[in-house]
Amino acid sequence: MSLEKSDRPWGSYEVLGEFADYKVKTICVKPGCRLSYQRHAKRAEHWFIVAGNPEVTIDGVIKNIGPGDSVQFPIGVLHRIANPGAIDVIFVEVQTGTYFGEDDIERVEDDYGR
């Protein structure tokens, strides 16, 4: 049972667990979509790729990864995930820090005008 589910223009996410110092989500990115290019002031993130072959941008450097790969984003690091493929990209996101609200997102670039 999930704590929260949310559909987004790029796909969806589901919160699996939320605790005082970490939060766990599963995230699905639809083919041809990408999340905003963003950073956080109060949390770091670790992504573990489950399905698909996304492009991950970390401080301006694009890296192609696949199932079984993981990436880490310390607090303040710009990051984005894009799905250039034909199947959904699915990954598990573990957030660590002091605050996990959606308002701790500084969007530098966003395809959806947020």
pTM: 0.93
Q: Is residue 18 part of a domain?
A: yes
The residue range of the domain holding 37 is: 4-98
Q: Residue with structure tokens 């500084």? A: 106
CATH assignment of the domain containing 58: 2.60.120.10
Task: List the one residue out of 113, 111, 59, 48 whose CA is nearest residue 82.
Answer: 111
Residue 1 has pLDDT above 70, yes or no: no
Tens of pLDDT, residues 35-76: 999 999 999 999 999 999 999 999 999 999 999 999 999 999
Predicted local distance difference test score (pLDDT) of residue 76: 97
In single-letter form, the type of residue at position 25 comes to K
The count of domains in the chain is 1
Tens of pLDDT, residues 2-44: 689 999 999 999 999 999 999 999 999 999 999 999 999 999 9
Predicted local distance difference test score (pLDDT) of residue 101: 92
